[in-house]
Every structure is written in structure tokens, then in C-alpha cells.
Amino acid sequence: MTAGLTPRQPLRHTFIARLAAGVLATAGALALAAALYFFKIYGWEHPPSPVGYTLLGAAAVLLAAMRLRGRWRLAAASAVLTTVVVAYAAEIIMAFGPARPLLPMWSFDGFAEPIKRDLVKDLSSAPIDFRTREQFLTAVRRHHPDAVSAVKLAPAFDSHPVADAGMIPLGGVANAYTVLCNQTGNFVTYESDEHGFRNPRGIWSSGSADVAVVGQSLAQGYCVRDGAGFVDLLRRRYPRLLNLGFSGGTPLFQLAAIREYLPAQRPRLVLWAFSEWIDLHDYRSHPRPAALARYLDDSYSQHLAERQPAVDDLVRRAVDEYERPQPPGVMSAGERAGAVLKLWSVRQALNPETDEDRVESLFAALAEALPVAQREVKAWGGELCVVYLPSWARYEDRRDQMQSERERVLRMVRALNIPLFDAEPAFDEQPDPLSLFPFRTFGHYNEHGHALVAEALLDALRSRERQSPILQTSAARK
């Protein structure tokens, strides 16, 4: 009698049957291990994300399938193997194939040079600076020995020097030559003001402000030269304009900036710049630090304006520890193998933006911070307005997703009776909105985009000035 399958020999007693059971047992054990790892990282209560419980369910089904008889067990094992082969084939194609990765252009200086050259080929005839940030800083420090790399607020908060210091910085190093970023092929630098923000020096002692702007990277002017950001262009009409925009801020950082720096300046108008998709992404990566929640108390302050030397020391230490190059999208062979093993590309494709708990947390943080900021500004006789800034993703392939975010933000702002300046219609009117972004890819606005925002804002502000005596700034009265 030959070895192998015969009609009289039950499948469960053959080598193939044992192999099928082994496949199911291995897959079930791996699913169980992944579930336990997930719960170890995130805890047992992680609504509404079903990942951990889905893995537990898959483990139970796979282990139960070992009890199937005959060809049913073989079919189950075959299905598992087919799924694994297809998933890893897709992962390898996506990870190593020719498709261009979605890399943020504000991190251009951190990319490997081949990636830089691939990103800009056929898109720019201007000279491109391919140096890394470290190389550029080395060159800059020959003339500016104290030059500092720009810090991102939320990542800096996570770093040990900041977390251990009992202080949360809201700006950069004061009076410093600051290297911001290279997003369009050339590095952008600026001289920070007396509190580490991107303003002309001396502005804090020039009298009460007309206008102040809070927000993050788009307000700060990532990554355009001095004078070309939309806040700089607004300053032509409102010379006493304070820009508190700083990269990496989330809603409570912006509330904190209002509380710490603006009561003494009493601006008639405070613009809160909300950056579509960027704010959401930053909050997903760095959710609300518990210490910042104290700003929801109307009386809380760190008195940062009087502690600038301590802020400078803290930020410099954070830069030294945290801002070393972290090239996005450029992984070692071991890191890439680990990413493939974890099916990183496949998981991103299947679940690109569905971390709903973080999404809801962003809107909850915004809903908490805006009314407190509104009361703060009203207390000195000013008015808070929200500026809605559309993103690159809206004009690439995610309009429906961005529209959902926009509608939620606009409903929230209107429910609070906060005036809204919406830049999205001005972008939609353009024949080629992607031309307003560097190299037409994922990044902040280029100079043309900033100019468009400034023009739309100035038109809205002139109209608002005619309606609201509060907004009769010194520029409007001239």
C-alpha cells in the first residue's frame, strides 16, 4: 500500500493533515500574541478601534479550525497560507516598488539624496540645496556660532529635558539665528524675536498690538523666506502684528500662547489658524500633554514672558537631544525588514486615517480650547477669529475626507459664535490648486499659496472692520 492519500485513509492521519494543523496552530498563536501585544501597548479599553478584539477573534477561529475534519481543515489552512502569501507579496511590492512614497516636503533635508533627486526631477529648474540639516548648520555656524535648529513643540515636549524641567516652552530660542526647514529646495532661516517667535525684533516693546496670530507651522511660515508668509503679508496692513505661530503646536499650545503672551499686548483681533489635515496629523502623533490641560483653568499661567532665559536654555537642550536628523522614509536594512514583517505598507493602505479615537480627541481638544481662548481675548476687549486653511490632501485625492473635517470644524466654530475666515473657497477657485504646494506634493504652501491666503484674509478683514468697531485697528483708522 503506497504512502499518501487514499480514499480509505483519513486525511487527519496523514502528513498533510498534520501540516494543516500546524499552519492553523501557528497562525492562531501569532494572532493571539499580536492581540496581547496590542493590549499591552494600548490597554484593554481602546474604543472604537477593534484591532485587539479582532486579533483575539481571529486567534479563536484559527485555533478552533484545528478541530475541523478532513478536507475542511486543509481548506482552512490553504486559505490562511494564501492570505499570508498575498499580503506579503503586496507588502514587498509596495515597500520596494517604484511608487513614490508620501513624504512630507518640510523634511526634505532629512531625505537620502537619491530620494531628493527623484522628488524634484522634472519639477524644478532652479538650483536645489541637497545638503542635510547638519551640513547646513555646520556651514551657518561659521558666521553664526549660536545658530539653532527650529524645534517642534509637541516632539520637544516629549523629550526628556523638557518633560523633566517642569516647564512647557511655546516658542524657540530668543534672538537666535534659526534654521527652519528646506521644503522648496533651499533652506529657510530667520532671526527670532525676544520670545523666540518669527517677528521683527523690537515688536514686543512697540506698543499694544493690533493683531496677533496663533497656530502652528503654516502660521510660522514653513518653509518660505522672511516676508513671504501670509502672516508677514498681513503685517503690511497691520504693522503691529504679533506672530505666535510655531510648528508642532496643538490646540492647547495655541491657547497657552494666548494666555502667556497676549494679555499685556491686548490685540484687538486674534487669528487662530487651523491647518486642515496637518493639525489632525500632529495631534494623532502627539495627543494632548496632561500638563497643558491646566490652561483650561482661566487662572493658570507659567509666566513664560518673564522667564525667557530659562526657556532658551530648555529649548537648546531639547534641540540638542531631540532634533538630531530622523530621516523620514529612509530606513536601514534591518528597519525595512522589520517594517515588511509587520506589513506596514499594507496596513497603511487598508487603514490610512481611521484612528478614530485620536480624531475624536483632536476635536474634543479644539472644543475645549476655543471657548477658553474666546473668553481670554474678550477679557481685554478683543475678538477671536478662526482662520481655516485647506491642505494639499484636499486637492490630491482626499477631498471627501477633508470636507468631513472642514464641516466639523466650521460647525464647532459657528456654534461658539466665533467669526470664521475660510480660505478654502479661494483655493478652489484656482485652476491648479496643487501648484500652490512645493513641487506639487505633500507640504505647506509655497509663496504663491501664502499670497493667496493673505489676499483672501485681507479682503475678509476689510469687510469685517466695517462691521465691527472692535476691529478698527490703527491701520484701519489711518
Find the CATH number of the domain harbouring 229.
3.40.50.1110
Q: Are residues 290 and 205 in the same domain?
A: yes
Q: Are residues 91 and 137 in the same domain?
A: no
- pLDDT by residue, tens only, the chain of 478 residues: 444 445 545 544 567 778 888 888 888 888 888 878 777 655 665 444 566 778 788 888 888 888 888 788 888 888 888 888 887 787 777 766 654 456 678 888 877 778 788 777 766 667 889 998 889 999 999 999 999 999 888 776 665 556 556 788 999 999 999 999 998 889 999 999 999 999 999 999 988 899 999 999 999 999 999 999 999 999 999 999 999 999 988 899 999 999 999 999 999 999 999 999 888 766 655 555 667 889 999 889 999 999 999 999 988 888 876 555 544 444 555 556 766 777 766 666 665 444 455 567 778 889 999 999 999 999 999 999 999 999 999 998 888 888 989 999 999 999 999 999 999 999 999 999 999 999 888 889 999 999 999 999 999 999 888 776 655 555 554 4
Q: What is the pLDDT of residue 310?
A: 92
Residue at 108 is within a domain: no
Q: How many domains does the chain have?
A: 2
- Amino acid in position 207: G
| Residue whose entry in the numeric block shows the C-alpha cell 475626507 | 401
- Amino acid in position 331: M
Q: What is the pLDDT of residue 215?
A: 96
Q: Are residues 170 and 88 in the same domain?
A: no
The sheet carrying 383-389 orders its strands as 241-243, 211-214, 269-275, 383-389, 420-422
3-state secondary structure of 380: coil
Q: Are residues 69 and 144 in the same domain?
A: no
Would you state the cell numbers that stand for residue 451, as one nine-digit string? 499670497
| Residue whose entry in the numeric block shows the C-alpha cell 494632548 | 288
| Residue whose entry in the numeric block shows the C-alpha cell 536645489 | 128
Taking residue 12's Cβ as centre, other Cβ atoms within 10 Å add up to 15
Residue at 3 is within a domain: no
Within its chain, how far is the Cα of 348 from the centroid?
A: 16
Q: Are residues 311 and 439 in the same domain?
A: yes
Give dist(CA 396, CA 442) in Å, integer.
9
| Residue whose entry in the numeric block shows the C-alpha cell 474678550 | 378
Q: Are residues 404 and 283 in the same domain?
A: yes
Q: Are residues 57 and 191 in the same domain?
A: no
> Whole domain around residue 83: which residue ranges?
11-96
Residue at 4 is within a domain: no
Q: How far is CA 402 from CA 353, 392, 395, 431, 443, in A?
A: 11, 10, 9, 19, 15
Q: Residues 340, 92: contact at Cβ < 8 Å?
A: yes
Domain boundary among 46, 70, 96: 96
Q: Are residues 68 and 146 in the same domain?
A: no
Residue at 118 is within a domain: no
DSSP character for 286?
S
Q: Are residues 155 and 81 in the same domain?
A: no
Residue at 1 is within a domain: no
Residue at 116 is within a domain: no
| Residue whose entry in the numeric block shows the C-alpha cell 480650547 | 369
DSSP character for 420?
E
Give dist(CA 407, CA 413) in Å, integer.
10
Contacts of 194 (CB under 8 A, 6+ apart): 174, 175, 201, 202, 204, 308
Q: Are residues 205 and 262 in the same domain?
A: yes
Q: What is the pLDDT of residue 362?
A: 73
What is the reported pTM?
0.76
Q: Are residues 41 and 162 in the same domain?
A: no
Q: Are residues 21 and 149 in the same domain?
A: no
Contacts of 43 (CB under 8 A, 6+ apart): none
Q: Which of 337, 231, 216 is nearest to 283 (CA)?
A: 216
Residue 271 sits at φ, ψ, to 5 deg, of -95, 125
